[in-house]
Amino acid sequence: MDSRVATTAVRWFFPALVIAGSIAAGPTAQAREKLDEAARAQRAVQVLRDIQAIPESAIPDKLFDEARAVVVVPDTLKIGFIFGGRRGEGLMSVRRPDGSWSAPSFVKLTGGSIGLQAGVQSADIVMVFHTDRGLDSIVAGKFTLGADAGVAAGPVGRTASASTDAQLKAEIWSWSRARGLFAGVAVDGAALSIDDTANERVYGEGSTPRMIFEGRTPTRTPNALVDFSDALEEAAAAAHARRSDSVAPAAASATPNVAPAASAAPPAQEVAAPATAPAAPNSTITTEALPETPAKKP
C-alpha cells in the first residue's frame, strides 16, 4: 500500500513541479523581454544623438526639418557571407499633423543588400521618410525598400542637400554608421516590417502601429520609448531653428541694397523737371511724353 502511495505521489509531483516552474518563469521571461525592448530603445536614442552631435556628419537640417518619419535600427548584423543580407531591430516614429513626434513602433529590417565596406559585420541604419507613401505601406505591415518606395543614399552634413537625380526622386533617404563613420548607403531590397510581438509586449495586447502613432494604446508609453520621441523632437527643433536663422540674415542683407536705388530716384526727377517746366502749359507735350516712359526701364 505504501509503495502505491509513493508511486502516485511521484507521478503527480513532477508534472506539478514543471507547471509551477513554468508559471514562475513566465513573468520573468516577459520582464526580460521588456528589458530587451527598453535596451533597444536606449541604443536607438544613443545612435540618433551621436549622429546629430557632429555637424559634419549629421543628417541635413532640411531633410530632418521636413521628415515625415524616422527609423533607427541599431546594430544590424550581417546574416550571410555571400549575399550580404542583414537583420536588425529598431524603432520608427512618425510626425503628427501638429508637428510633434509620435511614440515609436518597433520594426525589423531584414534581407536586402546594404552598401557597406567589406568586413563590416555590424552597422547602425537610419532612414528618413520624405513622403507619406512609404508610411501607408509600413502601417499595413511590411514593405520593400526600393520597390514599394524609392530609396537613396542620403547626403551628409547639416548644410548638405540632395543633388543627384536619385536623391531628388527618393521618398526615403538612408544612412549607416559603422566603425565610427556615418555615410549615406543604399538599402535596396531590404524589407522593413512591423514587430508586432514587441509592440504588444510593450504597449499591450492588440496594439497596432496606427494605435501607437495616434497615442491610443492600452498602456502608457514606457520612459525609454518616450526618450526616443524626445530625441527626435530636439533634433527636429534644432534643425528648424538653424534653417530659420540662415534665412533671416539673407533677408536682412538684401534690404540695404534696395534703399540706395530708392534714394537715387529723386535726383533724376529734379534734373528732368527744368527741361519740362517751360512746356507745361501745352498739354500735348505731356501726352506725347507718356509713350517714352518705358524706354527708361533699362
Grid cell listed for 124 = 547602425
Whole-prediction pTM: 0.70
Give the DSSP letter string of 186-241: --TT-EEEE-HHHHHHHH-TT--HHHHHTT--SSPPPHHHHHHHHHHHHHHHHHHH
Count how many residues are written for the chain. Answer: 298
233 and 241 Cβ atoms separated by less than 8 Å: no
**Separation of alpha carbons 236 and 130, rounded Å:** 14
Rounded to the nearest 5 percent, the helix, strand and coil shares of the chain are 50, 20, 30
Q: Residue 151: helix, strand or coil by DSSP? A: strand
Closest of 170, 183, 224, 182 to residue 202, by C-alpha: 224
**Separation of alpha carbons 194 and 198, rounded Å:** 9
**Separation of alpha carbons 209 and 78, rounded Å:** 27
Q: Residue 297: helix, strand or coil by DSSP? A: coil
Q: Spell out the domain ranges in the chain.
A: 52-245
From residue 298, alpha-carbon distances to 270, 293, 294, 295 in Å are: 19, 11, 9, 7
pLDDT 10s per residue in the chain (298 long)? 455 544 444 454 444 444 445 454 445 655 666 678 999 999 999 999 999 988 888 898 999 999 999 999 998 876 554 445 678 999 999 999 999 999 999 999 987 666 555 555 788 999 999 888 878 888 887 788 877 788 888 888 887 766 655 555 688 999 988 877 888 887 888 889 999 999 999 999 999 999 999 999 999 999 999 999 999 999 999 999 998 887 655 544 554 554 444 444 444 444 444 444 444 444 333 334 434 444 444 3
